[in-house]
Amino acid sequence: MNDDPMLADVRDGLAEVRDSLAKAHPHIPASEIIARASRRRVRRGLASAGAACAAIGLTLGLVLPSGSQARPVHVHLAAWSVDTNPNGTVTFDLRQVSQPARLQNVLAEAGVPAKVRWGKICLARGRHVLLSTEGFVKFSPSKTWQDQPASFFGVTGPGRGGQLLYWSWTINPAMIPSGARFMISAVPPGRVPRNDYQAVWEFVPTSAPVACARSMKS
């Protein structure tokens, strides 16, 4: 068995693939990476404090302004980003529905209740359940559209493989009515039948029953 030619073949083949990939620059600054690790360290420290957590929670409850449960959040992934702004609003950009559970948690940390699903389109039953977002949500569905109030938005297939969303919200969490949430869902763009939803979001009561399906007509 002569390994060297085989090794060289595989090495050349993989190097070809590696070098064919578009050159990229980090979109997350090193300072954010460092800050992320620091926040994680703090969280671990708090978790390991055990019984002290209750006391810490009480202290935080006294220190934080009443009515505010959200924390500053700055999470930037390739697929989505969530940022709290100095004026208390949250900017949420969605390009792909990747890591839905994490997205849901990050939005919750920022004070935005949401249910996120990937692989199925989920809609609350009955369009009458839509709640108004006027006054606390501005939504922009593309790079060129201006922000506008909305309670529902969806894009239909068939999409091209790799198609990205350019959805952007500015949300004021303090004005979100209790018992309501955002429902965000999407399916891979390459396998969406014509006129079926590829991605959709809506603002609905938390108590509204939700129907999910791999394919849903618009």
Nearest to 169 by CA among 208, 203, 128: 203
Distance CA 144, CA 73 (A): 26
Contact between 49 and other proteins by CB under 8 A: the answer reads no
Considering only CA atoms, give the Rg of the chain: 21
Among 11, 43, 71, 217, binds other proteins (CB under 8 A): 11
Among 71, 127, 214, 217, binds other proteins (CB under 8 A): 214
Return the range that interacts with other proteins (CB under 8 A); candidates 19-27, 64-72, 105-113, 128-136: 19-27
Nearest to 121 by CA among 32, 195, 14, 27: 195
| 194 Cβ contact list (under 8 Å, min separation 6) | 156, 157, 158
Contact between 99 and other proteins by CB under 8 A: the answer reads yes
Smallest separation (angstroms) from other proteins to the CB of 150 = 25
Return the range that interacts with other proteins (CB under 8 A); candidates 13-21, 51-59, 63-71, 131-139: 13-21
Contact between 7 and other proteins by CB under 8 A: the answer reads yes
Distance CA 188, CA 101 (A): 17
Scanning the structure block, which residue is given the tokens 């900017």?
91
Distance CA 192, CA 154 (A): 13
Contact 94, 167 (CB under 8 A): yes
Distance CA 18, CA 12 (A): 10
Contact between 71 and other proteins by CB under 8 A: the answer reads no
Contact track, other proteins, 102-141, x by CB under 8 A = ---------------xxxx---------------------
Residues 157-176 binding other proteins (CB under 8 A) are 161-162
Among 27, 43, 125, 127, binds other proteins (CB under 8 A): 27
Contact between 6 and other proteins by CB under 8 A: the answer reads yes
Contact between 147 and other proteins by CB under 8 A: the answer reads no
Ramachandran angles phi, psi of 217, nearest 5°: -70, 145
Q: Contact residues for other proteins (CB under 8 A)?
A: 3, 6-7, 9-11, 13-15, 17-28, 30-31, 33-34, 36-37, 40-41, 77-79, 95-96, 98-101, 117-120, 161-162, 187-191, 212, 214
